[in-house]
Amino acid sequence: MDIERKQAEHIEHFVKQASVIKGSPSSLVNIIVEATSHPSLFAFTEILSVPNILELQGTEDSRYLDLLQMFAHGTWSVYNSNASELPQLMPDQVLKLKQLTMLTLAEANKVLPYDVLMHELDVVNVRELEDFLIECMYVGILRGKLDQQRRLFEVQFAAGRDLRPGQLGNMIHTLSEWLGTSDSLLITIQEKIKWADSMSELDKKHKQENVEMLEEAKNALSLKADMDFRGHGLFGEPGGMMDYEDRRTKRRRHPMG
Amino acid sequence: MASSSSGLTFKLHPLVIVNISDHHTRVKSQSQPPTNSPAPRVFGCVIGVQRARTVEIFNSFELLYDPSTRSLDRSFLEKKQELYKKVFPNFYILGWYSTGADAEESDMHIHKALMDINENPVYVILNPLINHTQKDLPVTIYESEMHVIDGIPQLIFVHSSYTIETVEAERISVDHVAHLKPSDGGSAATQLAAHLTGIHSAIKMLNSKIRVLHHYLNAMQKGEIPYENSLLRQVSSLLRRLPAIESEKFQDEFLMEYNDTLLISYLAMFTDCSSTMNDLVDKINIASNAELHLESETVVNAQMAKGGALFDKLDHFRSRKLDQWRCGYGVKHDTTSGLPVGSSSEPQPNLVLFDPFLDLFVGGRVWVVAAASKLAETGDGANQTPDKSIFNRRQFLVSFKTIMQKIKTS
């Protein structure tokens, strides 16, 4: 949001200038032209709302008012289609309008293909386009990644343009959805925490049961072994054990061979 | 105690708090008996910088307290002060600290004693008793003021507010200490719970901030607050950054990592199972061999040799399959043919590797036991075969055939 801070002074300056001058349309026109060519100024709503400027409506210089509105809300292609009704633009203004066009495009998509950009901005080659994008990034209105191989521009941050009347409703709607999502996320996290706790409880119980079963089995077997031992006597067991050991070592040796 | 009216703002660094608590802990643990309550009070000096109306307390050091004279050791203090002056030439003695619940009358003596170094010393108290209900730090800062009580002008302590100011190094260490608890927790569940709780509180903060914005915009729309365009522009640019997690690339990487973790845990559990199985079969072998009568040692040896060879083949097969899985999995990353992106989170294709693997392992080992039991049956009819019904011979011959086929085809 540094761009807002940088703009704040300029906005104030122009608003003051515009409110001071009265009854002199040509100087108001000059102010408009100055504002639209200023390199760091991208917000025009405040200037638009100065009553002196609004008075231009209906006079012969209303074209400049339309121009100001165009800079506030419109794009380069809109300008081109209405070029006859609007005054000629100086190179600075052309650049600024194109930058504002970028902002509008960034509003719609986060990933902008080079072809679309070149079409919208009337730029012929990729080199020019990339230079233009890098310029925008230096000014501070855009932040993103240029992917030349896939011919994309990924937008990470784009400064806000002036609001159209209907946009506020959309913004509130988006915000409330965001709120809803984060609320449900919080609930999900809490449930996960409870789940983890309950699973660890179950696990502990399971282990406990296993240990108990093992103890029982051991006790039962030791009883049974005692009985067997007394029943069968020394029936071949020592011999069996000896043979088993021989067999074990021999078995281990063979796989090597 | 009344609140301070001197108008000084205090800034406290976490280093001071850590020093005081460390001093207190050391003394408490070294004193005998260690369960003695109440813990002895510790004293020390705080140093820092005073610029105009801001008092910033950076560091502290300990001082010897002489209970008999109820004063601090002066020479020690001066020596320490000299040493600290060499290292930190900008820092002055701003006051002193002690531990305890509240300021006491005897503290005023010490306070007055320090007044010749600094005309208005500050008194920092740390309450070492941990109170879980209290959310704030148990640190209070007092200043002294001359008040007229009962006609006698007296110095009393007055409470002052302070803020915590951190340097980057302090922030890192405090962060580290705050995150230290989960490793103590022990079981995986408590660690998970601790981690999730951290995330929960972070998202809760985000949630409350979004709520504030939402409320503000609503009010603006209804007209209660005049439009503030700069703010609206910022909010619109912020909202344009959403959704942040929905992109396809994110889904791809997320699912890959998820599959990786699932597979690794499956493999680990699996190796564990096979080693347990190994132990079990060994025990069964011992148990069954103990009842065998030696008929022909060579026959038995040959059978055991075959079993051993089979084991080797199985081990070899298992390690080859593991390698295949490892290499193949790497390839699957690029082609993304093996990973079902977005549809399910179960690593379906790779599971196929492990199932016949399991059959082989179980089948192979059990075959040896079956061989042993076969010997037992043909050898000495009088020998009672214990409950070997689970080792049904026909089943094993069938599974043995399938196992050998699989080994041939792999």
Q: Model confidence at B155, in pLDDT bands (50, 70, 90)?
A: confident
* Mean pLDDT value of segment A111-137: 87
Determine whether the interchain pair A176/B214 forms a contact, defined as Cβ–Cβ distance below 8 Å. yes
Chain A residues touching B229 at Cβ < 8 A: 43, 45-46, 162-163
> Could you count the other beta carbons within 10 Å of the beta carbon of residue B307?
22
Taking the CA of residue B176 and the nearest CA in chain A, the distance in Å comes to 23
Cα–Cα distances in angstroms (integers) from residue B232 to residues A1, A8, A10, in the given order: 12, 13, 18
Q: What is residue A233's predicted lDDT score, i.e. its pLDDT?
A: 53
Q: Model confidence at A183, in pLDDT bands (50, 70, 90)?
A: very high
The full 3-state SS of chain B, as one line of letters, equals CCECCCCCEEEECHHHHHHHHHHHHHHHHHCCCCCCCCCCCCEEEEEEEEECCEEEEEEEEEECEECCCCEECHHHHHHHHHHHHHHCCCCEEEEEEEECCCCCCHHHHHHHHHCCCCCCCEEEEECCCCCCCCCCCCEEEEEEEEEEECCEEEEEEEEECEEECCCHHHHHHHHHHHCCHHHHHCCHHHHHHHHHHHHHHHHHHHHHHHHHHHHHHHHHHHCCCCCCHHHHHHHHHHHCCCCCCCCHHHHHHHHHHHHHHHHHHHHHHHHHHHHHHHHHHHHHHHHHHCCCCCCCHHHHHHHHHHHHHHHHHHHHHHHHHHHHHHHHHHHHHHHCCCCCCCCCCCCHHHHHHHHHHHHHHHHHHHHHHHHHHHHHHHHCCCCCCCCCCCCCHHHHHHHHHHHHHHHHHC
Q: What is residue B377's predicted lDDT score, i.e. its pLDDT?
A: 44
Taking the CA of residue B350 and the nearest CA in chain A, the distance in Å comes to 27
CB interface of A with B, residues 127-166, below 8 Å: 156-163
**A164 against B27, higher pLDDT:** B27
Percent of chain B with pLDDT over 90: 3
Determine whether the interchain pair B300/A236 forms a contact, defined as Cβ–Cβ distance below 8 Å. no
**A52 against B195, higher pLDDT:** B195
Q: What is residue A256's predicted lDDT score, i.e. its pLDDT?
A: 45
Q: Model confidence at B184, in pLDDT bands (50, 70, 90)?
A: low
Chain B residues touching A247 at Cβ < 8 A: 289, 297, 300-301, 304
pLDDT > 60? residue A243: no
Highest mean pLDDT among A200-214, A234-248, B175-189, B337-351: A200-214
Q: What is residue A213's predicted lDDT score, i.e. its pLDDT?
A: 94
Which tokens belong to A186? 């919080």
Q: What is residue B67's predicted lDDT score, i.e. its pLDDT?
A: 72
Residue whose entry in the numeric block shows the structure tokens 């009358």: B105
Please, which residues have CB within 8 angstroms of residue A1's CB and are 6 or more apart in sequence?
A: B234, B237
Q: What is residue A161's predicted lDDT score, i.e. its pLDDT?
A: 80
Within an 8 Å CB–CB cutoff, is residue A83 touching chain B?
Answer: no
Q: Model confidence at B347, in pLDDT bands (50, 70, 90)?
A: very low
Taking the CA of residue B305 and the nearest CA in chain A, the distance in Å comes to 6
Q: What is residue B344's predicted lDDT score, i.e. its pLDDT?
A: 33
Determine whether the interchain pair A175/B196 forms a contact, defined as Cβ–Cβ distance below 8 Å. no
Q: Which among B299, B279, B276 has a CA at the least distance from the CA of B287? A: B279
Over residues B225-241, the pLDDT tens digits come to 777 777 788 888 888 77
Can you give the C-alpha Rg of chain A in angstroms? 39
Determine whether the interchain pair B240/A106 forms a contact, defined as Cβ–Cβ distance below 8 Å. yes
Which tokens belong to B203? 């998202």
Q: Which among B352, B211, B365 has a CA at the least distance from the CA of B278? A: B365
Chain A residues touching B193 at Cβ < 8 A: 193, 196-197
Chain A residues touching B239 at Cβ < 8 A: 171, 174-175, 178
Q: Which among B323, B350, B322 has a CA at the least distance from the CA of B338? A: B350
Q: What is residue B318's predicted lDDT score, i.e. its pLDDT?
A: 60
Q: Model confidence at B351, in pLDDT bands (50, 70, 90)?
A: very low
Determine whether the interchain pair B214/A192 forms a contact, defined as Cβ–Cβ distance below 8 Å. no
- Cα–Cα dist A45/A15, whole Å: 10
Q: Which among B23, B33, B2 has a CA at the least distance from the CA of B98? A: B23
In a mutational test of the A interface, the residue from B203, B208, B229, B238 whose CB has the highest number of chain A CBs within 10 Å is B229
Taking the CA of residue B309 and the nearest CA in chain A, the distance in Å comes to 6
Q: What is residue B364's predicted lDDT score, i.e. its pLDDT?
A: 44
CB interface of A with B, residues 174-233, below 8 Å: 174-176, 178-179, 182-183, 185-186, 189-190, 192-193, 196-197, 199-200
Mean of per-residue pLDDT scores for chain A:
79
Bridge-partner residues for B55, per DSSP? Answer: B10, B50
pLDDT > 80? residue A118: yes
Nearest to B207 among A168, A186, A250 (CB): A186
Residue of B nearest to A178 (CA): B210
* Mean pLDDT value of segment A209-235: 82
Alpha-carbon torsion angle B129, B133, B137, B143, nearest 10? -80
Over residues B354-408, the pLDDT tens digits come to 344 444 444 444 444 444 444 444 433 333 334 343 344 455 455 555 655 665 5
Which tokens belong to B111? 């306070």
Predicted-assembly ipTM surpassing the 0.95 threshold: no
In a mutational test of the A interface, the residue from B239, B303, B369 whose CB has the highest number of chain A CBs within 10 Å is B239
pLDDT > 60? residue A250: no
Bridge-partner residues for B61, per DSSP? Answer: B45
Q: Which among B127, B117, B108, B109 has a CA at the least distance from the CA of B84? A: B117
* Mean pLDDT value of segment A159-170: 79
In a mutational test of the B interface, the residue from A147, A164, A178 whose CB has the highest number of chain B CBs within 10 Å is A178
Q: What is residue A23's predicted lDDT score, i.e. its pLDDT?
A: 66
Interface A–B counts its CB contacts (< 8 A) at 142
**Range in A172-181, A197-206, B149-158 the model is least confident about:** B149-158
Q: What is residue B109's predicted lDDT score, i.e. its pLDDT?
A: 78
Determine whether the interchain pair A179/B214 forms a contact, defined as Cβ–Cβ distance below 8 Å. yes
Q: What is residue B338's predicted lDDT score, i.e. its pLDDT?
A: 37
Nearest to B207 among A11, A179, A240 (CB): A179
Exposed/middle/buried for B199, CB within 10 Å: 0-12, 13-18, 19+? middle
- What's the maximum distance between 2 C-alpha atoms anywhere in chain A? 127
Q: What is residue B36's predicted lDDT score, i.e. its pLDDT?
A: 59
- What's the order of all strands across the beta sheet hosting A111-113? A111-113, A152-158, A142-147
**Are the C-beta atoms of B304 and A247 separated by less than 8 Å?**
yes
Q: Model confidence at B45, in pLDDT bands (50, 70, 90)?
A: confident
**B246 against A88, higher pLDDT:** A88
- Cα–Cα dist B161/B164, whole Å: 10
Residue of B nearest to A45 (CA): B229
In a mutational test of the B interface, the residue from A157, A177, A190, A193 whose CB has the highest number of chain B CBs within 10 Å is A193
Mean of per-residue pLDDT scores for chain B:
71
Nearest to A186 among B204, B211, B309 (CB): B204
Within an 8 Å CB–CB cutoff, is residue A43 touching chain B?
Answer: yes
Q: Is A111 helix (H, G, I), strand (E, B) or coil?
A: strand
